[in-house]
């Protein structure tokens, strides 16, 4: 059972409890008022006052318990939304962290120049070879050799774009 449903049930129980206590109080008040109408006073024959004889602690405790139960119900109803948001954020963070770990494992199997190229392609998927050459500060022929090696390892793919080629990551990290 999720928190929202539980909160609604608890809220209903709290309202029901406070209603029962209120009905008991009204019944007791009406009985006291009938006795006062009949006798003309709130004092009984033995000298006890009907108002003083009343146990007010029961009502105070009952109202406090009802208020706490209602507050708990309201909290659970509205906490559900923030709990889902927190869980969603944590799942996103876990996914990002997992992707970073996979990417770092991938980088461990590459040399320094290949790492530069893969990092640059990851930052801008679909980067042109010319822009990649400028970002990695590699010579045109060396970059071409590295890209050929990365294509053979099936880490990237290249597609023609005019006089140059675009470079894409083949793996989803």
pLDDT tens per residue across span 106-134: 888 899 999 999 999 988 889 999 999 99
Q: Which of 97, 123, 153 is the last residue of a domain?
A: 97
Read off the pTM: 0.51
pLDDT band with cut points at 50, 70 and 90 for residue 81? low
Do 18 and 73 lie in one domain? The reply is yes
**Average pLDDT in the 28-55 region?**
81
Residue 13 within a domain: yes
**Average pLDDT in the 95-103 region?**
87
Contacts 24+ apart (CB under 8 A), 61-66: 62/17, 62/18, 62/21, 63/18, 63/21, 65/17, 66/14, 66/15, 66/17, 66/18, 66/21
Do 35 and 86 lie in one domain? The reply is yes
**Average pLDDT in the 29-40 region?**
85
Q: Which residues have a Cβ under 8 Å from the Cβ of 74 and sit 6 or more positions away?
A: 7, 11
Structural domain harbouring 116: 112-169
Do 77 and 54 lie in one domain? The reply is yes
**In the chain, % of residues over pLDDT 90:** 39
Do 86 and 140 lie in one domain? The reply is no
Give the C-alpha separation, 146 to 133, whole Å: 11
pLDDT band with cut points at 50, 70 and 90 for residue 164? confident
Do 20 and 91 lie in one domain? The reply is yes
Residue 107 within a domain: no
Total number of domains constituting the chain: 2
Give the C-alpha separation, 38 to 45, whole Å: 13
**In the chain, % of residues over pLDDT 70:** 95
**Residue 80: per-residue pLDDT:** 64
**Average pLDDT in the 159-172 region?**
86
**Residue 1: per-residue pLDDT:** 61
Do 18 and 91 lie in one domain? The reply is yes
Do 9 and 88 lie in one domain? The reply is yes
Q: Which of 63, 97, 131 is the last residue of a domain?
A: 97
Comparing 42-46, 64-68, 149-153, 155-159, the range with the smallest average pLDDT is 42-46
pLDDT band with cut points at 50, 70 and 90 for residue 71? very high
**Residue 173: per-residue pLDDT:** 61
Q: What is the mean pLDDT of the chain?
A: 87
- Residue 138 contacts residue 116 (beta carbons within 8 Å): yes
- Residue 60 contacts residue 18 (beta carbons within 8 Å): no
Do 28 and 81 lie in one domain? The reply is yes
Do 85 and 117 lie in one domain? The reply is no
**Residue 70: per-residue pLDDT:** 93
């Amino acid at each position: 059972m999720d928190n929202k449903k539980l909160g609604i049930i608890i809220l209903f129980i709290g309202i029901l409890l406070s209603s029962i206590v209120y009905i008991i109080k009204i019944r007791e008040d009406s009985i006291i008022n009938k006795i006062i109408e009949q006798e003309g006073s709130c004092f009984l024959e033995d000298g006890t006052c009907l108002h003083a004889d009343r146990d007010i602690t029961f009502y105070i405790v009952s109202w406090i318990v009802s208020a706490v139960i209602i507050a708990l119900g309201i909290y659970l109803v509205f906490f559900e939304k923030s709990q889902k948001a927190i869980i969603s954020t944590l799942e996103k963070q876990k996914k990002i962290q997992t992707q970073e770990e996979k990417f770092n494992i991938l980088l461990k199997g590459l040399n320094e120049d290949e790492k530069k190229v893969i990092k640059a392609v990851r930052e801008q998927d679909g980067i042109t070879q010319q822009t990649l050459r400028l970002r990695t500060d590699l010579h045109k022929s060396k970059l071409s050799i590295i890209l050929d090696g990365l294509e053979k390892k099936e880490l990237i793919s290249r597609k023609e774009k005019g006089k140059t080629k675009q470079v894409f990551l083949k793996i989803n990290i």
